[in-house]
Chains A and B, each alone.
Chain A
Amino acid sequence: MENYVTLKKADFNEFIKRLAKIQKVVAPVKRGLKNFAFEEVTSGEDVALTYIPTILPPKKYFMPPKESLAEFNKKENKWETVLEYEELTIFGVHTCDLAGIQCLNMVFSDTPKDINYIVRKNKITIIGFECNNYCDEHASCAAVDSYLPKGGYDLFFTELKDVFIVHINTLDGSDIIKKVNLFDIVSEDYAKEFKTVRANKKEVFKDEVNVGYKGLKSLFDKSSGAKVWDDLDQRCVACGNCTNVCPSCYCFDVVDDINLDLNTGVRSRKWDSCQNEGFAKVAGEENFREERGQRQRHRYMRKFNYPVDKYNRYFCTGCGRCTRSCMAGISLKETINSLVEEIK
């Protein structure tokens, strides 16, 4: 198998150790009951190989919750645009989160390009990790066709019984293989086992919602007057959890912070949420999305409808985070199924 190598499971700890010597490594780490987070690791023992999607997706490294855009000095009439970045390897990115990063790549590479994002992204090495089974009942990665790897990584790990089989996708990935120097060529047995794992996945991952892949977009085409939104209007508390944890949500606010000298300061962008009441409000108090139901519909449209025309893909990656983090118990799968029921 060309561009594939294997790593013995016994060598995994050593792999992370050597990887961490090249540059900073972050990976999913257990953080209490049913919670995981991407954090810095130095040894394989720190890494949670079986994990449900982390509290925040790896988006936090590509588009930090708050980042400086410019620094100013009022007296000197000085304005300097800046970029903050970190050389980083992210290990253990599931296919849903790889899809999320691909969504962000498309948005920020679209004209006019966002230099801050693009430079930062180029400093990050991505090592994916395959889910051979569902993480939990909230995932819907088959519905949006993101349960199999489709690029967007440098290396990609799939767990077999005794080894990890690793796809080398980029020159950066190939560099790591050379530097770490723990990998073997793929034996015929492992190649066969790998094929079986992939074939099995097609049996496991399916039928999460009552509408097919293509039907999702047209379902939302017809969703404008649906009662589902009235129901969400009553339940949603507009906390913005769903958008914060979403791997493909990227809306932001731009804020100025002035230092105590009342002269120098920083302009930053920070995550914003279309679920916040003031998100679409203009000066003069007109609010173009005043109702929580309207705002929920907007969120769903931004996942299942608008980006299909613009970027030819769904912006929902099926990770299930919005459902897991919703304080009002709003479930993405239930919302879609209620829409199917109402609109059929």
Chain B
Amino acid sequence: MKKIILKESEYIMKSATIVKAKQLTEFEKYFEIALDGDQSLDHMPGQFVMVSIPGVGDAPISVSSSPTKRRTFELVVRNTGKLTGALHKMGEGDTLGIRGPYGTGFPIKKLEGNDLLFVAGGLGIVPLRSLINFVIDNRRDFGNVHILLGCKTPKDMLFGDEVERWSERLDVEFNCTVDKSYPDWKGNVGLITSLIPGVNLDPDRTFAIVVGPPIMYKFVIKELLAKDIPDSHIYLSLERHMKCGVGKCGHCQIGEHYCCQDGPVFSYKKIKSNIEAL
């Protein structure tokens, strides 16, 4: 058996450094990351990277920042597996490996000029934030913007300051709900689906972008269809197990689709008849 070093391989990783790290909640940690050598990630909102820690492994993580933010990018990671557990022990100045960006992100060109309804449940706000901030940074290119945000309790809300700035903008409609309230909570209480009927929208020029836990999708989609939003105007980002990120390892397959390449963002029209999707 002979062995050679490859100059070209999908498994080459870019060395990167954590420039800022912050514990957001008990389980979620924020990382601002810079690729070494001043490279930019050049991702599209909705894409993901494979984050790699040699000796531990690698895992797909959604990019949370908008590409309008240059030089660094942001990830928010829930401590739930081997890689994310190791990542949670890391902080400013630590190095890790990045592959990607990978996948098909949100369809920016299709969204331009149209009204947008963002629906984020739980950790769904993490990938959706890349698009929300992109839209806010290019606000003139989009019509009405409505953000619906749901989480378990006020304590679980991520990006509190940023969310507050969104809610204060005059060119953004914002509603938030929690499943379980606290005494000083002034917002809505209930599931995120309860916010949809009250949204005033023009179904023909509205695109709904929905990101949340798997269980959330069918209930949210039902409400969106009840608002007459066509299924080609509903976009979802799906989560799957991945090992390679480049359409080979088979773990992320959803029927005939590879989540890592054909997704993670899919139109509802594309996957509604796929029994493995939702």
Give residues in A with beta carbon < 8 Å to B.
68-70, 72, 74, 77, 79-86, 107-108, 110, 112, 114-116, 224, 250-256, 258, 262, 265, 267, 269, 272, 274, 279-284, 286, 288-289, 298, 301-302, 305-306, 309-310
Contact = CB atoms under 8 A, between A and B. Distances in A.
B272 to A, nearest CB: 14
Contact of B55 (A82, A85, A258): A258
Select the residue from B240, B243, B250 with max chain A CB neighbours within 10 A. Answer: B250
B9 A81 contact: yes
Contacts of B199: none
A-B complex: 5 closest residue pairs judged by Cβ atoms:
A251-B250, A283-B81, A72-B54, A81-B9, A283-B80
6 contacts: A81-B5, A115-B10, A251-B251, A265-B54, A288-B276, A302-B250
B15 A77 contact: yes
Given A281-B241, A284-B78, A79 B97 contact: yes
B203 interface: no
A80 B11 CA distance: 9
Nearest to B259: A288
Contacts of B13: 70, 79
A262 B54 CA distance: 11
Given A86-B1, A279-B250, A305-B256, 19 more contacts: A70-B11, A74-B54, A79-B54, A81-B12, A82-B5, A83-B4, A83-B6, A85-B1, A86-B2, A114-B246, A251-B249, A256-B56, A262-B55, A267-B54, A280-B240, A282-B240, A282-B241, A286-B213, A289-B276
A69 B58 CA distance: 13
Nearest to A69: B11
B248 A107 contact: yes
A255 B97 CA distance: 15
Interface in B225-263: 239-241, 243-244, 246-251, 253-256
Contacts of B249: 251-254, 269, 272
A72 B2 contact: no
B256 A309 contact: yes
A286 B57 CA distance: 20
Contacts of B57: 254-256, 267
Chain A interface, >50% SS class: mixed
A162 B51 CA distance: 61
Contacts, number: 133
Nearest to A294: B276
A114 B12 CA distance: 12
Contacts of A107: 248
Interface in B1-54: 1-6, 8-13, 15, 54
B214 A77 contact: no
Give the interface residue-count category, chain B. Answer: 35 or more
Chain B interface, >50% SS class: loop
Contacts of A72: 54-55
Given A69-B9, A306-B256, A114 B55 contact: no
A30 to B, nearest CB: 25
Contacts of A289: 276
Contacts of B213: 286
B275 interface: yes
A312 to B, nearest CB: 13
B95 interface: yes
A288 B240 contact: yes
Contacts of B133: none
A253 B249 CA distance: 7
Contacts of B66: none
A256 B55 contact: yes
B9 A115 contact: yes
Given A112-B10, A283-B80, A310-B256, A80 B243 contact: no
B84 interface: yes
Nearest to A243: B250
Contacts of A252: 243-244, 248-250
A80 B84 CA distance: 23
Contacts of B241: 279-282, 288
Interface string B97-125: 10000000000000000000000000000
